[in-house]
Amino acid sequence: MTETSVLPEVQEFVSRQHQLYIDGQWVEPVGQDRLNIFDPATGKCIGSVPDASPADVDRAVTSAHRAFKSGAWSALSPCARERVLLRLADLVERDTEILAQLETLEQGKSLILSRILESGGAQNWIRYVAGLSTKVTGQSLDVSIPLPPGARYTSFTRKTPVGVVAGIVPWNFPLVIAVWKVLPALAAGCCVVAKPAETTPLTLLYLAHLATEAGVPDGVFNVITGSGSVAGDALVRHPDIAKVSFTGSTPVGKHIAEICASRLARVSLELGGKNPAIVLADADVEQVVSGLALAGFLNQGQVCAACSRVYIEAPLFDKVAAGLQAALSSMRIGPGFDETAQINPLASAAHQRKVKGYLQTAIDNGAEILWGQEVPEGDGYYVRPAIVLNPDDSLPLVREEVFGPVMTLTRVENVEEALSRANDCRFGLAASVWTSSLSHAMDLPPRLEAGTVWVNSHVMIDPNLPFGGMKESGIGKDFGTEWLDAFTETKAICIRH
């Protein structure tokens, strides 16, 4: 095993006495409570951040509200906003290795993945979103208003920023999802208070340092660290929050939706998934095996769009199962800083317990399981990856989001059986179809109940491809040009002349 050394800048940042980022300043929280951060590869405490109280949340929202009302950001020209955000992307690029290492230290994922999808992905998404600043457009509308007789009207719509946005971030991709929650709001002219997950706050705090350097005005972007049940809840309930942009689990998303409904605050919810793949008898087995091994075990399956259920037409079942077993056996397990390891620890001890619990229930029910390599000795949050063969559909790991390195393979007799079992699920985030037939590639995606459907691929996302769930996987879309709609109000203006 050869582990990449942690940069001195990363060590220094991790060990800082972190504060809250409010009104462009680093400020002490009202209380003394702190949240410890653990290295998932060792289980050791590596630092801490403030556990913000409702009073801290109020300070942050008040600062964002004041900045919004002042027009310091929303009244800047679109080009000026775009310039600041592009500068932020350049700074993320400058510090890309620091951000990648911070991510691996606090979240556990492979450093290679952190470089490509977190610090690399953040740059791409920030640049895409920066460009949206100059694409906020309304429409010109012809109207037929009959009164008073002879009156003429010119009508158009304008998109105006919705106000102060709460951006709430999960722990599976802490940096790039923070970018998804914060940056489009800024592009639309809103001000933001962001909250990271309590186990993975470091990269969002680092992004706040870069935002100051990029020239984001004071109060426009604030970060509070703290628990979901106290700081997150106070943020969502704050009367000056006009919009909540949330990525996380379905139960918390439903709870947030109820709070927002009580005062009609706007809300976008990017929630959990239980994403199926349908493998048809005419699929290319090699492509299926390499594609699904990545889609199921990338980031240890802690991916909202991960493929967790595979329905395979009978003639290919044994070949695909054997191929996936071989792929799994070849995946080395080790810490994220060991660049030769493909499977790394899960993000937290609590999550490790949860995933092991799903597997134990499957074992207790006699499920047939193909295992990956043994996990290393020690206190890291590792879970041995597993493929469960033909599980009973009533097992919790078939019906619920496991969010771990666990995939089920189920033999089906035909396309219709595959479709009906794939759709028999309360989630509807993503799905894939594996086939060499053009007609299946065209016919099946519209019949799958999922916000994104890939053909001969799975889990591939892009800033220009709208992404979001159907059913209990959420409300609203991230990405694409319609992203701006989530952070703007459409105002109709009608001028009589």
Question: Which residues belong to the active site?
Answer: 270
Where are the alpha helices (H) located in 71-119, listed in sequence order? Answer: 78-94, 96-107, 111-113
> Among residues 327 and 407, whose Cβ is nearest to ligand TAP?
407
Q: How far is the CB of 131 from ligand TAP (least distance, A)?
A: 21
Quickly count: other Cβ atoms within 10 Å of residue 326's Cβ. 12
Q: Which residues fall within 8 angstroms of residue 426, CB to CB, at 6 or more apart?
A: 274, 471, 472
> Among residues 86 and 475, whose Cβ is nearest to ligand TAP?
475
Q: How far is the CB of 355 from ligand TAP (least distance, A)?
A: 12
Comparing C-alpha atoms, which of 488, 491, 485, 494 is closest to residue 158? 491
Run of H or E residues at 267: strand 266-270
Q: Which amino acid is at 66?
A: R
Cis geometry, peptide bond prior to residue 148 (ω within 30 degrees of 0): yes
CA-to-CA dists, residue 54 to 227, 228, 238, angstroms: 11, 11, 9
Q: What is the CA radius of gyration of the chain?
A: 24
> Among residues 176 and 214, whose Cβ is nearest to ligand TAP?
176
Q: How far is the CB of 174 from ligand TAP (least distance, A)?
A: 9
Q: Estimate the share of the chain in helix, then strand, then coil, as percent rounded to the nearest 5.
A: 40, 20, 35
Angle at 85 between CA 83 and CA 86, to 5 degrees: 65
CA-to-CA dists, residue 138 to 80, 92, 279, 436, angstroms: 20, 32, 43, 42
> Among residues 214 and 407, whose Cβ is nearest to ligand TAP?
407
Q: How far is the CB of 250 from ligand TAP (least distance, A)?
A: 6
Q: How far is the CB of 102 from ligand TAP (least distance, A)?
A: 17
Q: Which amino acid is at 150?
A: G
Q: How far is the CB of 307 from ligand TAP (least distance, A)?
A: 13
> Among residues 195 and 458, whose Cβ is nearest to ligand TAP?
195
CA-to-CA dists, residue 23 to 32, 242, 348, angstroms: 20, 18, 31
- Bridging pattern class, strands 44-50 and 34-39: antiparallel
Q: How far is the CB of 377 from ligand TAP (least distance, A)?
A: 27
> Among residues 73 and 171, whose Cβ is nearest to ligand TAP?
171
Quickly count: other Cβ atoms within 10 Å of residue 162's Cβ. 20
> Among residues 108 and 272, whose Cβ is nearest to ligand TAP?
272
CA-to-CA dists, residue 471 to 47, 271, 431, 449, angstroms: 39, 10, 13, 8
Q: Which amino acid is at 65?
A: H
> Among residues 177 and 214, whose Cβ is nearest to ligand TAP?
177
> What is the DSSP secondary-structure string of 380-436?
S-----EEEES--TTSHHHHS---SSEEEEEEESSHHHHHHHHH-SSEESEEEEE-S
Angle at 406 between CA 403 and CA 407, to 5 degrees: 110
> Among residues 273 and 391, whose Cβ is nearest to ligand TAP?
273
Q: Mind spelling out the 3-state secondary structure of 300-355?
A: HHCCCCCEEEEEEEHHHHHHHHHHHHHHHHCCCECCCCECCCCECCCCCHHHHHHH
Contact residues toward ligand TAP (CB under 6 A) are 168-172, 177, 195, 197-198, 227-229, 232-233, 236, 247-249, 252, 255-256, 270-273, 304, 401, 403, 429, 469, 474
Q: How far is the CB of 224 from ligand TAP (least distance, A)?
A: 11
| Sign, CA torsion 56/37/407/324 | positive
Please tell me the distance from the alpha carbon of residue 467 to that of residue 477, in angstroms, as a whole number. Answer: 5
Q: How far is the CB of 205 from ligand TAP (least distance, A)?
A: 14
Task: Give residue number: closest CB to ligand TAP.
Answer: 228
> Among residues 23 and 198, whose Cβ is nearest to ligand TAP?
198
Comparing C-alpha atoms, which of 68, 65, 10, 59 is closest to residue 224? 59
Q: How far is the CB of 438 from ligand TAP (least distance, A)?
A: 30
